[in-house]
Chains A and B, each alone.
Chain A
Amino acid sequence: MAAKVITVTSGKGGVGKTTTVANLAAALAAEGQRVVCIDLDIGLRNLDVVLGLENRIVYDLVHVVEGSCRLRQAMIKDKRVPELYLIPAAQTRDKSAVTPEDMVRICNQLRADFDFVFLDCPAGIEAGFRNALAPSDLVLVVTNPEVAAVRDADRIIGLVEAEQKGPAQLILNRVRYAMVERGEMLSTEDVLDILAIELIGVVPEDAAVITAGNLGSPASLDKELLVGQAYRDIAARLLGRDVPFLSLKPKTWLEKLGTFLNGGNTQ
């Protein structure tokens, strides 16, 4: 089986690319998939922190590219799930240390032994973006329901189409149900109206994601969290399952009581 190389990108910074990569990779690995994540934000690495693997880094992506270590040596294994690996970015270099050809070569080496390769793309549309796009089989565009983030996502989708790597799919991150209800935040429909690409997931805003990132433990591994369920649903869709979209509407006290009496089963 050949791995699917998935690029997670956004254009704008701070919309949740790294968090998305960490959560989707962990959710897929928890399902028994063999997953590698590669952090392409060379010079500003974060994925190692979010995955809680930073103190185990010996070799990084630039070492692999320069041939000072073997690919396997740079792969840090996550011990919480069966088959999840991270190839961290170098913190001391910049994007020019890696070329698109290097990335195609590395991803091709990984294809044979894994099911999914996630590329965590840096913000922007420069060298780092081109490195992340070159080997990609599927592009996931992460955006927030904000005008500025949607504008950048639109630009990115156009660039992906121009490189014939489309059609990209959309993850709408950090949606606040109450604000959408009050008409203070763009709704999913508003965003899709402009971007006109397929939606693969809607993720609610949840402070637990920040806590989980600080602790280095992806929220998608926490069965209790709605936001974790949102990530697990996207992972299931990546596996080709038809999963209905979550209702982000908060439960009323009556529904909560029902769930409680039902022994915690939401059905």
Chain B
Amino acid sequence: MTDLIAVKGIQEGLLVTLPSGAWADLEPVLYARMQEEDQFFRGARIILQVGKRELKAADLGRLRDKLGDLKINLTAVLSEARLTQQAAKALGLQTQLAKTPARIAAAAAAKLEPGLTMAALMHQTLRSGRTINHAGHVVVIGDVNPGAEILAGGSVVVWGRLYGVVHAGAAGDVEATVCALDLSPQQLRIGKLITTSPVRRGQPEPEMAHVRDGQIVAERWVPKDKFKRLA
């Protein structure tokens, strides 16, 4: 029966949809599954879709506390039943997801326009020991400290200081690039090529690293001449 519980990653967290059946039967199954896969669920925000079930605050409260012990946050309960909605509200849980603007929602549903590829955004400083693995591009707003690691299938953009280890084009894409406001990684890899940072002299400047003639080269970003821009 655990397979009938659908888990789907959405913007707000993990959307968990319960199949038909009595709550009393399903609740232990749900808990058992999360306990079993606690590596996956740990730290996750859960949006629980219960359909038309009528649940009391005590039911939801008990589940929230049990999941809390597993370090899983139950953040929202979606239901068509008024009683359930009220119970969820009483516990301070959300009962609907923030509305995404229609145009964005339509864009998410549609296929990407040609020339666009998906990227993952991390709006946080990556401290030592932290690793990000992503099949697409990775964008970090924040610093990447020494000892942190980014492994990306595509390019890596860091709006901040890049001091850790970065591997762009990890599946062999030599077109991948790495950009940072301060590009001083412990090690920079693109495809199968590896380089380390030269000792920096003076102030850091925004740079982009890419592969040219089988070598990784870093180029400074230079603003265009003011007068040329006006012309």
Query: In the complex, are the beta carbons of B147 and A155 less than 8 A apart?
Result: yes
Contact A159 B145 (CB under 8 A): no
Q: Is B127 an interface residue when CB atoms closer than 8 A count as contact?
A: yes
Quote the shortest CB–CB distance from B197 to chain A (angstroms).
15
- A159 lies within 8 A of B129 (CB): yes
Q: Is the beta-carbon distance between A154 and B146 smaller than 8 angstroms?
A: yes
A-side contacts of B2, CB under 8 Å: none
Secondary structure dominating the interface of B: loop
List the B side residues contacting A161 at CB < 8 Å.
127
CB of B43 within 8 Å of the partner chain: yes
With contact pairs A158-B130, A162-B43 given, residues A151 and B125 touching in the complex (Cβ less than 8 Å): no
8 A Cβ contacts from A145-195 to B:
151-152, 154-155, 157-159, 161-162, 194
Residues of A within 8 A of B130 (CB): 158
Residue in A closest to B130 when the chains form the complex, CB atoms: A158
Q: Which residues of A contact B125 (CB under 8 A)?
A: 196
Select A155's contact among B43, B128, B143, B163, beta carbons within 8 Å.
B128
Chain B residues, CB < 8 A from A154: 127-129, 145-147
Q: How far is the CB of A130 from chain B (nearest CB, A)?
A: 12
How distant is the Cα of A155 from the Cα of B127 in the complex, in angstroms? 6
**Residue numbers in B under 8 Å from A157 (CB-CB):** 127
Q: Complex: how many Å from CA A152 to CA B128?
A: 7
For residue B163, which residue of chain A has the nearest CB? A194
Whether A151 lies near B43 (C-beta < 8 A) is: no
Mostly helix, strand, loop or mixed at chain A's interface? Answer: helix
Closest residue on chain A to residue B147 by CB atoms = A151
The size bracket of the interface on B is 10 to 19
With a cutoff of 8 Å between Cβ atoms, the chain B residues found around residue A196 in the complex are: 125, 143
Determine whether the beta carbon of A194 is less than 8 Å from that of B145.
yes
Which B residues lie within 8 Å of A194 (CB)?
145-146, 163
Considering only residues 135-186 of chain B, those with a C-beta below 8 Å from chain A are 143, 145-147, 163
For A161, give the chain B residue with the smallest CB separation. B127
Count residues of chain A with CB under 8 A from any CB of chain B. Answer: 11
Residues of A within 8 A of B43 (CB): 162
The CA of A151 and the CA of B130, in the complex, are separated in Å by 12
Q: How far does the alpha carbon of A211 sit from the alpha carbon of B43 in the complex, in Å?
A: 45
| Nearest residue, chain B, Cβ from A153 | B128
Q: In the assembly, what is the distance between CA of A86 and CA of B119, in Å?
A: 52
Chain A neighbourhood of B147, CB < 8 A = 151, 154-155
Q: Which residues of B contact A155 (CB under 8 A)?
A: 127-129, 147
Point out the residues of chain B lying under 8 angstroms from A151, CB to CB. Answer: 128, 146-147
Q: Which residue of A lies closest to B43 (CB)?
A: A162
Cα separation A194 to B142 with both chains bound (whole Å)? 11
Task: Give A157's nearest chain B residue, CB to CB.
Answer: B127
Which residues from chain A contact B126 at a C-beta distance below 8 Å? 158
* Chain A residues positioned under 8 Å from B146 (CB to CB): 151, 154, 194
Contact with B along A132-152 (1 / 0, CB 8 A): 000000000000000000011
User: Which chain A residue shows the least CB distance to B146?
Assistant: A151
Expressed in whole angstroms, the Cα–Cα distance for A157 and B145 within the complex equals: 12
Query: CB-defined interface of B112-140 with A at 8 Å, one 1/0 digit per residue?
Result: 00000000000001111110000000000
Query: Closest approach, in angstroms, between the C-beta of B187 and any C-beta of chain A?
Result: 15
- Among residues 77 to 135 in chain A, which have CB atoms less than 8 Å away from a CB atom of chain B? none
Q: How far, in whole Å, are A73 and B117 apart by their CA atoms in the complex? A: 65
Q: Binary interface profile of A, 192-203, with partner B (CB < 8 Å = 1, else 0)?
A: 001010000000
State A145–B138 Cα separation when bound (angstroms): 32
Shortest Cβ gap from A100 to chain B (Å): 12
Closest Cβ neighbor of B73 among chain A residues: A164
Return chain A residues, CB-CB under 8 Å to B128: 151-152, 154-155, 158
| In the bound complex, CA of A159 to CA of B129 (Å) | 9
* A-chain residues with CB within 8 Å of residue B163 when the two chains form the complex: 194
Closest chain A residue to B143, Cβ basis: A196
Q: Whole-angstrom distance between the alpha carbons of A170 and B127 in the complex?
A: 15
19 additional contacts (CB under 8 A) given A158-B128, A159-B129? A151-B128, A151-B146, A152-B128, A154-B128, A154-B129, A154-B145, A154-B147, A155-B127, A155-B129, A157-B127, A158-B127, A158-B129, A158-B130, A161-B127, A194-B145, A194-B146, A194-B163, A196-B125, A196-B143
A-B contact pairs, 11 of them (CB 8 A): A151-B147, A154-B127, A154-B129, A154-B145, A155-B127, A158-B126, A158-B127, A158-B129, A159-B129, A194-B146, A194-B163
